[in-house]
Amino acid sequence: MTDKNKNDFNRKISKLKNSNIFLSLIIFSSLYILYVINYTSFSQRSTQYSNGISYETYEYGLSKCEAIKKIKPDNNNIQDRKTNPRYVPGTKSVLLKNARILDGIGGDYIGDLLLKDGIISEIVKFAGENEKRRVDDDTVIIDLKKKFVSPGLIDMHSHAGVASWPNLRGTDDTNEETDPLTPFVRAKDAINPSDPAIRIISSGGITTSLILPGSGNLMGGEGYVIKMRPVSTLSVEDMGINYGINPEEEKEWRWLKMACGENPKKVYRLKNRMPTTRLGEGWLFRKRFDEAKKILIKQNDWCDFASKLSSTNEQLNSPFPEDLQYDSLVALFRGDARLNVHCYETFDIEAMIRHSLEFNFTISAIHHALDAYRIPDVIKRANSQITIATFSDLWGYKKEAFQASTRSPKILADAGIPVALKSDHPVTNAQHLAFEAAKAHYYGLDEKLAIASITSVPANALGLNHRIGQISIGYDADIVVWDSHPLELGATPLEVYIDGIPQFNTSASVLTNFTKKSTKKNDDSFEKNINKENTDNTNNIKERTASSVIIKNIGKVFIDEDTIIESVSSNSSLNDKNISIIVKDGLVECIGTNCTNAIDTITNNSPEIIDLNGGYILPGMIAVGTSLGLVEIDAEVITSDGIAPIIVDPNSEDRVIKAIDGLKLGGKHLNVAYKAGVLTSITPPLSRGVIDGISVAFKTGAHSVIDDDDETIIEKEAALHVKIGTPFNNAYISSVSSQIGLLRRILIHSLFKPSPRNIYNKVAKGLVPLAVYTHSKDEIASIINLKKQLSYHGGNLQIIIIGGAEAHLLAEHLSRNNVSVVLSPSRPVPDLWTAKNVLTGFPLTNLTGVEILIKHKVKTALGVGNSAWTRNLAWDAGWILANSKGLLSEKDAIGLISWNLEKFFNLNRNKLNKQDLRVGNIANFVAYDGSPFNLHTKIKLIAGGGRKNVLIDPIQD
């Protein structure tokens, strides 16, 4: 190639290069512009920010921030409520005319209530019987004739549905005891809408319950509020109080459960992990609160930063910070969850308040809180008002429940602290929540506050006081029609309306015409009859003792089932026809209408003079079924006699334990029982086997068990006690059939070994009764057969069934075979697989088991199912009397808790202990200022029970 050609070629190549570079620059520039435009658009839609989160993640975070900043509805400002989201279309309106309305917020008036569209749509006070009102043609109109009406009761601490009846492993979902910190679990995921307890509970007038996880964990999880109305869908969601609400208009609360003190310590000590002490509890609480607080702060920081982004060039490197396991705690910090804390002791309560102040959250309610009455000022240090949700008189079962006082609700209320009474179902049967309030009233809580404690106070603590807990226009149509004042002993709902729907379809004629004999001293005012006496008793009256007393103006004296002395005059003079009793140095000096000479003989001793104003004298009551005298605190082994060895050998008569050898007298449980007029206890040894041992009958007020002390032991061998049922199977006796087989072998074998020291022989021959604890009809039937079998060998068993929840199903056989029944508890529940056939009473069942037993003339008495409630024995009998529809008399009711038991256990065979109320005998009786079978009277005097001096005006602590 020539030089010229080369130059031409190079020029062409250079031109080409220049044009390609230019073209490339144009193409590159175009592509770059398109890239920038598309990158920006794409980034805004769905591509990743360079450091992590997607646009969708960013938008999600912004939505969470918006929800956090959004002003939530204030339920307290909701007015003129026209509908109930739980209203069931087609429900007929109901007009309740001439009702005695206790509105839950202090009102007590006569009026008419219109229940329409699931709410209380109209209230007319002081409406006349003939007043006309415009109502729909299909409105059900019922004239209540001044029967009491209250709001539906609210139980703010229940485990119904998560601890279903009957108790089975498969139905117990109370505690997730795999970690002490489980705030993330939810009761709503475990509630069984088919739990039979739900229907039973509603029959007691309870229309709303807060269902909580148990107290095994420090942070137990979220609770769930349900209406106690069955729904056709069997949907837990549909039972919820928040079902159908508009969260834009009504705040949708969450409820959180925590616990402190003994329960978490006990659970995790067995697992050998923290917490095993309160120190560990405190650390774990603070650690988890701190972790949740850090998430809260990160959320706030994220939202704050996101709100300040000014252009698309600014980027967030991480998603909105959240963790599902901390969600409920963050909700608590943000004020969206209400905290309910299980705490008893003063220092536990203070610790929780301290945590709330440190981490800035509020406590809605402290539950159980049996020590709260001792520290009202500490409770007021919290950053919000705390409701105390407590028991009226359950106590003593563990150390943190040992300092309880029956005056606690009154003391707290007087200090301005809201008090709610709750059940802790199934610890207590929620069906009788009204009884909790009635007992609190008896011990001094104002009547209106007692009603509020189961209506408006828990409604307020749950954040639901805008729709339940009171009778006001616009509130849910949750209404209870009572057969008597709800604070009367044995008060029973005739009908319960939930969302305006009658739950038991009680006929209008029953609601109109049902009458129940009042137990009030007069009919003027419930408050007049009871509250002044309660206040005087707790504040002014002081206990005192006397060696000699004159009791005058007695209305009735019940000596035994054949002997009743009744006054014929209302004049209070000692010298007329009124009854007087003179006690001198512990002995009955005189009884009757002519005690003038006896009075003269003791006037030099400056006797106390007690005017009963027509009150009653009863024999000292007898407690059966408790561990009185052997156990002081159930959960503390060191306070008990201990557990007897398991017996499996028919030749074991020498190894049978006697309770008399382990008695510990003078304890708090015995003192409480004594002050309640329970002057005798029949206590068997403690055992986990079939053969418990030999019970002792002793006086509850005694101080010594010296053999020659006639003031203590009534009967050293009251009965041989055995237990039959699957709960008592063990490695040696693994079936119920084995239990009964062992008992059969022991008793038949003993008939051929006569010996004055052989307790089995005495039992087989009927010299000492055989007390069998069981509830099952089938096991009771086997015991009846055992009695028959033993008779073929010359035996003569005297059987006492203790428990007997299903005994009514064999009433004819029990009566025919002369088998006695000590019903314990007196109002049984179907909590056991072997007690499914319990009759819980009106409005679910027309009769109860005890009524059937009595109708068939079965020898019947009442036992005590829980040592804490020994002091309620007279009320147990009064409850049955009040609801017996005339089947029982006062004398019959007294027999249930006194002389019937003397007969069953042959307590009158020991002639050294003359117990009946006759001249020359040891004084052993209880004096009331009225009938003992209601909640309007007080014990004025206790004589005997192992003490020589008479106790005047005893006060229950």
Rounded to whole angstroms, how far apart are CA atoms 295 and 775? 53
| Alpha helices by DSSP H, 462-554 | 508-513, 526-539
- Say if residue 703's pLDDT is above 70: yes
Q: Minimal CA–CA distance to 825: which of 428, 314, 527? A: 428
With 0-12 / 13-18 / 19 or more C-beta atoms within 10 angstroms meaning exposed / middle / buried, residue 738 is middle
Residue 66 within a domain = no
Q: Are residues 729 and 819 in the same domain?
A: yes
Residue 901 within a domain = yes
The pLDDT of 380-397, averaged and rounded, is 97
Looking from the CA of 305 toward its CB, the CA atoms found within 13 Å total 16
Rounded to whole angstroms, how far apart are CA atoms 674 and 702? 10
Regarding beta strands 720-723 and 501-502, do their DSSP bridges make them parallel or antiparallel, or are they unpaired?
A: unpaired
For 629-651, b/e burial (b = at least 16 CB within 10 A) is bbbbbbbeeeebbeebeebbebe
pLDDT for 11 equals 59
Q: Are residues 555 and 673 in the same domain?
A: no
Q: Are residues 439 and 508 in the same domain?
A: no
For 663-694, b/e burial (b = at least 16 CB within 10 A) is bebebebbbbbbbbbbbbbbbbbbbebbbbbb
Residue 537 within a domain = no
**Total structural domains in the chain?**
5
Bridge partner residues of 862 (DSSP): 823
Residue 317 within a domain = yes
The pLDDT of 477-501, averaged and rounded, is 97
Domain CATH number, residue 298: 3.20.20.140
The pLDDT of 897-910, averaged and rounded, is 88
Residue 60 within a domain = no
Rounded to whole angstroms, how far apart are CA atoms 813 and 788? 12
pLDDT for 533 equals 43
Q: Minimal CA–CA distance to 583: which of 911, 901, 945, 898? A: 945
- Say if residue 379's pLDDT is above 60: yes
Rounded to whole angstroms, how far apart are CA atoms 131 and 892? 45
Q: Per the omega criterion (within 30 degrees of 0), is the bond before 843 cis?
A: yes
Q: Which helix (H) or strand (E) holds 560?
A: strand 548-560
Which tokens sit at 158?
């229940």
Q: Are residues 805 and 869 in the same domain?
A: yes
What is the SS3 assignment for 149? strand
- Say if residue 957's pLDDT is above 90: no
- Say if residue 571's pLDDT is above 90: no
pLDDT for 15 equals 55
Percent of the chain with pLDDT over 90: 77
Quick one: pLDDT band at residue 654, thresholds 50, 70, 90? confident
Residue 525 within a domain = no
Q: Are residues 896 and 930 in the same domain?
A: no
Rounded to whole angstroms, how far apart are CA atoms 228 and 236? 11
Would you tell me the crossing angle of helices 278-307 and 262-270 to the nearest 10 degrees?
Answer: 100
Residue 58 within a domain = no
Which tokens sit at 946?
């192992």
Phi, psi of 685 (to 5 degrees): -65, 165
pLDDT for 44 equals 43
- Say if residue 19's pLDDT is above 70: no
pLDDT for 518 equals 58
Q: Which residue has the tokens 């510990």?
A: 664
pLDDT in tens, 3-16: 555 555 455 545 54
Is residue 142 a contact partner of residue 94, using CB atoms and an 8 Å limit?
A: yes
Q: Are residues 496 and 590 in the same domain?
A: no
Which tokens sit at 881?
């009397």
Q: Which of 436, 453, 468 is the last residue of a domain?
A: 468
Q: Minimal CA–CA distance to 691: which of 771, 806, 782, 631? A: 771
pLDDT in tens, 50-82: 456 888 999 999 999 999 999 999 998 888 888
pLDDT for 78 equals 86
- Say if residue 37's pLDDT is above 50: no
Most confident segment among 47-61, 545-559, 564-578, 706-720 = 545-559
Rounded to whole angstroms, how far apart are CA atoms 158 and 713? 42
Q: Are residues 704 and 650 in the same domain?
A: yes
Rounded to whole angstroms, how far apart are CA atoms 353 and 271? 28
C-alpha gyration radius of the chain: 35
Rounded to whole angstroms, how far apart are CA atoms 598 and 130? 61
Is residue 459 a contact partner of residue 92, using CB atoms and an 8 Å limit?
A: no
Is residue 425 a contact partner of residue 210, using CB atoms and an 8 Å limit?
A: no
Residue 522 within a domain = no
> What does the DSSP assignment read for 185-204?
-BGGGT--TT-HHHHHHHTT
Quick one: pLDDT band at residue 174, thresholds 50, 70, 90? very high
Rounded to whole angstroms, how far apart are CA atoms 372 and 502? 38
Lowest mean pLDDT among 186-190, 499-503, 563-567: 563-567
Most confident segment among 202-211, 587-596, 930-939 = 202-211
Q: Which helix (H) or strand (E) holds 112?
A: strand 108-116
Rounded to whole angstroms, how far apart are CA atoms 846 and 841? 6
What is the SS3 assignment for 222? strand
CA separation (Å) from 445 to 452, 506, 543?
11, 32, 21
pLDDT in tens, 805-840: 999 999 999 999 999 999 999 999 999 999 999 999
pLDDT for 916 equals 74
Domain CATH number, residue 107: 2.30.40.10
Rounded to whole angstroms, how far apart are CA atoms 335 and 282? 22
The pLDDT of 942-948, averaged and rounded, is 93
Quick one: pLDDT band at residue 523, thresholds 50, 70, 90? very low
pLDDT in tens, 410-428: 999 999 999 999 999 999 9
Q: Which residues, at least 6 apart from 81, have a Cβ–Cβ distance to it below 8 Å?
A: 119, 466, 467, 474, 475
Which tokens sit at 738?
């084995």
Rounded to whole angstroms, how far apart are CA atoms 349 and 534? 28
The pLDDT of 216-243, averaged and rounded, is 97
Is residue 756 a contact partner of residue 743, using CB atoms and an 8 Å limit?
A: no
**Who has greater pLDDT, 133 or 216?**
216
pLDDT for 126 equals 77
pLDDT in tens, 260-281: 999 999 999 999 999 999 999 9
Q: Are residues 719 and 771 in the same domain?
A: yes
Quick one: pLDDT band at residue 728, thresholds 50, 70, 90? very high
Rounded to whole angstroms, how far apart are CA atoms 600 and 416? 52
pLDDT for 709 equals 56
Which tokens sit at 766?
């009927």
Q: Which residue has the tokens 């890239």?
A: 35
Q: Which residues, at least 6 apart from 608, have a Cβ–Cβ distance to it below 8 Å?
A: 544, 546, 548, 549, 550, 950, 952
Verdict on whether the full-model pTM lies above 0.85: yes
| Distance from chain centroid for Cα 914 | 39
> What does the DSSP assignment read for 262-293?
HHHHHHHHHTT-S-SSHHHHHHHHHHHHHHHH
Domain with 601, as residue range(s), is 543-568+577-619+915-956
Q: Which helix (H) or strand (E) holds 142?
A: strand 140-143
Q: Are residues 749 and 856 in the same domain?
A: yes
Q: Are residues 935 and 898 in the same domain?
A: no
Identity (one letter) of the amino acid at 67? A
Q: Are residues 825 and 709 in the same domain?
A: yes
Q: In the 8-state DSSP scheme, what is residue 686?
A: P
Q: Are residues 745 and 635 in the same domain?
A: yes
What is the SS3 assignment for 555? strand
Is residue 557 a contact partner of residue 579, using CB atoms and an 8 Å limit?
A: yes
Q: Which residues, at least 6 apart from 212, have a Cβ–Cβ distance to it below 8 Å?
A: 157, 158, 159, 187, 220, 223, 255, 257, 340
Please give the mean pLDDT across all residues of the chain. Answer: 90
Sign, Cα dihedral of 135, 141, 145, 148 = negative
Bridge partner residues of 591 (DSSP): 581
Q: Which residue has the tokens 């009778």?
A: 471
- Say if residue 17's pLDDT is above 70: no
